[in-house]
Amino acid sequence: MKDTGIVNIHGKEYKTVAKRVDEFRKEHHTKMAIITELVSIDEKSVVMKASILNENQIVIATGYAEENRQASQINKTSALENCETSAIGRALANFGLGGGEYASADEVANAIAQQNEAQKSNTTRLDFDAVREMLDAIDDEQSLTDYGNKLKIKNPNMTAKQADAISKMFNKRREELKQQ
């Protein structure tokens, strides 16, 4: 299957930055240039600037991008490269090579990946063994109810599966307390 450089994401067509750079080079390779500049870099983020220069070395379009190193698995090792690609894509869009949408396929895919990573990190990680130990130590209904309420408050992003498992643990302990 041939790579066209066009990606359909949620019903919209996006050109990859690679596709747009290829189009730029075919049309303007001897007359114009794309240059990139590192604006800032530290342990948390990278900021890049890309500029398109005309045949007289005058800047005619620019694009900036910022990447957070913790935003995705890829950015943990390649934030600089992703940032440079995004800055080039934005400069090309400002130049007029946007491909129908201002964001490139790379940027949209990266944004979706970041949203997915954020959703994963917002999911509460529960230590079920610790919950079980705490439940075993509770010896009255009121304390059981109080602990359940505290657990819900401290873990607002609990998944339905986690909530169901916790509920079963509480119901089992409630039954045990009734039999004592």
Q: Which is higher by pLDDT, 105 or 43?
A: 43
Distance CA 174, CA 44 (A): 47
Distance CA 44, CA 68 (A): 6
Q: Which is higher by pLDDT, 106 or 98?
A: 98
pLDDT at residue 179 tops 70: yes
Q: List the one residue out of 83, 117, 100 whose CA is nearest residue 8.
A: 100
Q: How many helices (H) and strands (E) does the chain have?
A: 6, 5
- Give the pLDDT confidence score for residue 136 in this predicted structure: 75
Q: What is the mean pLDDT of residues 64-68?
A: 90
Distance CA 91, CA 112 (A): 21
- Give the pLDDT confidence score for residue 15 in this predicted structure: 76
Residue 53, phi-psi category: left (phi > 0), alpha (psi -120 to 50), beta (remainder): beta
Confidence of residue 53 (pLDDT cuts 50, 70, 90): very high
Q: Which is higher by pLDDT, 122 or 43?
A: 43
Specify the pTM: 0.56
- Give the pLDDT confidence score for residue 163 in this predicted structure: 78
Q: Which is higher by pLDDT, 79 or 10?
A: 79
- Give the pLDDT confidence score for residue 104 in this predicted structure: 47
- Give the pLDDT confidence score for residue 105 in this predicted structure: 45
- For the chain, give the number of residues: 180
Q: CB burial class (10 A; 0-12, 13-18, 19+) of residue 139?
A: exposed
Q: Which residues pair with 53 in a beta bridge?
A: 33, 59
> Which of 159-176 are b and which e, b meaning 16 or more Cβ less than 10 Å from the residue's Cβ?
eeebeeebeebbeebeee
Instruction: Classify 14 as helix, strand or coil.
Output: strand
Instruction: Dump pLDDT digits (tens) for 127-175.
Output: 677 777 777 777 778 877 777 777 776 666 777 787 788 888 888 888 8
pLDDT at residue 21 tops 50: yes
Q: What is the DSSP string of 35-95?
A: EEEEEEE-SSEEEEEEEEE-TTS-EEEEEEEEEETTSSHHHHHHHHHHHHHHHHHHHHHHH
Q: Which is higher by pLDDT, 163 or 90?
A: 90
Structure tokens at 61: 């379009």
The pLDDT mean for the chain works out to 78
In the chain, what are the domain boundaries?
6-122, 128-179
